[in-house]
Amino acid sequence: MRIFIDGDACPVKDEVLRVAERHALPVILVSNSWLRGDHYLVEKVVVAEGPDVADDLIAERADAGDIVVTADVPLAARCFAKGARPIGPRGAPFDENSIGMTVAVRDLMSALRETGVVTGGPPAFTRQDRSNFLDGLERLIQAVKRGR
């Protein structure tokens, strides 16, 4: 089991490392630019600039049983189709019950933003979101270890 992080805009990198240390899990941090900080569990992968280059690498390398931390719904769907277990930075895992609805809502919100009906983005990231992520990641790791 490995943890992939879609790293450029991920607000929970430090939280991932805390949990990865507890379970001695390798972390692959994928980004379009070099991110500061070093850690013995982290492999940093810097990809070329361009749309979906980081996503393509993660989707290609993630295997069944790996965990993928991303807010990118299409990437989550691609990883889930391969048997990986995606989780959002607010702690909600993507699963067979939620991935289709999440993709549909994302597409609807994109259309509403393009037409100007909706002009804002998601709510600000809070301390509670960090706590929810830590709990969600721990539960997901335990579920993968149990084979669920």
The pairing of beta strand 67-69 with beta strand 85-87: parallel
Half-sphere exposure of residue 139: CA atoms within 13 angstroms, side-chain side:
12
pLDDT for residue 9: 83
Question: Is the CA virtual torsion 117, 91, 21, 14 positive or negative?
Answer: positive
Confidence of residue 121 (pLDDT cuts 50, 70, 90): low
pTM: 0.87
- Residues 74-109: pLDDT tens digits? 899 999 999 999 999 999 999 877 877 777 777 777
Q: 63 has which bridge partners? A: none
Task: Classify domain 3-145 at the CATH topology level.
Answer: Rossmann fold (3.40.50)
Confidence of residue 40 (pLDDT cuts 50, 70, 90): very high
What are the domain boundaries of the chain?
A: 3-145
Token code pair at residue 107: 């597409």
